[in-house]
Structure 1
Amino acid sequence: MSDDDTKSNLPALTRQVNELVLAGSLQHAEEALSKAADEHGDYAVAEVLSTLPPQVTALHLAGFDGAKTSVATLLVPPKAWAESLAYMAATWPDDMIEDDPERIAENLFNHMHGVVYATDDEDRRHELLAEASSSDWGATAFAIVWSLAPKEILEVAGEINSRGPQPNIVTTSDSDIVPLAVDLARASEDGWQRSLLELFPEFRNTADLADVELPEDEDEAEEFPHRTTRELLYRLRKQVPSVRSTPKRSTRRSMGTDIFS
Structure 2
Amino acid sequence: MTEKSNLPALTKQVTELVLAGSLGHAEQAFSEAADQYGDLAVVEVLSNIPPQVTALHMAGFDGGKMSLATLLVPPKAWADSLAFFAATWGDDLIEDDPERIAESLFAHIHGVVFATDDEERRHALLAEASATDWGSTAFAILFSMAPKEILEVAGEIIAKGPYLTGQTSSDNDVVPLAVELAKASEDGWDRALFELFPEFRHSADLADAEFGDDPDEEPAHLQRSTKELLYRLRKQVPTSRSVSGRASARRSLGSGIFS
**TM-score normalised to the size of structure 2?**
0.90
Distance 1:65 1:205, change over 3 A: farther
Partners of 1:173 and 1:237 lie apart in 2 by 30
Q: CA offsets, 1:90-118, max 9 Å, x none?
A: 13233211110100100111100110011
1:34 maps onto 2:25 in alignment = no
Partners of 1:38 and 1:99 in 2: CA distance: 44
Does 1:79 find its partner at 2:76?
Answer: yes
1:222 is displaced (CA, Å) by 5.0
Equivalent residue number for residue 252 of structure 2:
none
2:213 aligned to 194, 197, 216, which one? 216
| Alpha-carbon contact 1:197-1:205 (below 8 Å) kept | no
Question: Are 1:90 and 2:96 matched, yes or no?
Answer: no
Does 1:175 find its partner at 2:210?
Answer: no
State the shift of 1:139 in Å: 0.3
Residue-pair matches, total: 244
Q: Determine helix, strand or coil for the equivalent of 2:216.
A: helix
Are 2:70 and 2:112, in contact at CA under 8 Å, matched by a contact in 1? Answer: yes
Show structure 1 runs of 4+ deviating over 4 A. Answer: 221-224
Matched residue, 1:150: 147
Q: Which residue of 2 aligns with 1:195?
A: 192
* Residues 80 and 243, structure 2, Cα contact 8 Å, conserved in 1: no
Which deviations, in whole Å up to 9, do the C-alpha atoms of 1:39-85 show, x marking residues without a partner?
11110100000111111111111111241000100000000000111
8 A Cα contact 1:154 1:209, kept in partner: yes
Deviation larger for 46-55 or 199-208: 199-208
Q: Structure 1 residue 245: deviation in Å?
A: 3.8
Deviation at 1:207, TM superposition (A): 4.2
The structure 2 residue matched to 1:49, chosen from 43, 46, 49, is 46
Contact 1:33/1:71 (<8 A) preserved: yes
Aligned to 1:109: 106
Please report the RMSD computed on the Cα atoms of aligned residues, expressed in angstroms. Answer: 1.7
In structure 2, distance between residues paired with 1:58 and 1:165: 34
Letter in 1 for 2:88: T
Query: 1:59 maps to which residue?
Result: 56
Q: Which amino acid aligns with 1:133?
A: S
C-alpha distance in 1 between matches for 2:241 and 2:155 = 42
Distance 2:203 2:103 in 1: 25
Residue of structure 1 equivalent to 2:251: none
Q: Any idea what SS the aligned residue of 2:64 has? A: coil
CA contact (8 A) 2:89 2:234 kept: no
Change (3 A) 1:154 1:55: same
CA distance in 2, matches of 1:222, 1:207: 17
User: Which deviates the most, 58-67 or 14-23?
Assistant: 58-67
Secondary structure at 1:141 match in 2: helix
CA distance in structure 1 between the partners assigned to 2:82 and 2:175 by the alignment: 20
**Mapped partners of 1:216, 1:136: distance in 2:** 32
One-letter code aligned to 2:23: L
Structure 1: segments with no counterpart, 5+ residues = 248-261
Contact 1:97/1:104 (<8 A) preserved: yes
- In 2, Cα distance between the equivalents of 1:135 and 1:179? 21
CA change 1:122–1:230 in 2 (3 A) is same
SS in 2 for 1:220: coil
CA distance in 2: counterparts of 1:39 and 1:91, whole angstroms: 35
2:127: which partner in 1? Answer: 130
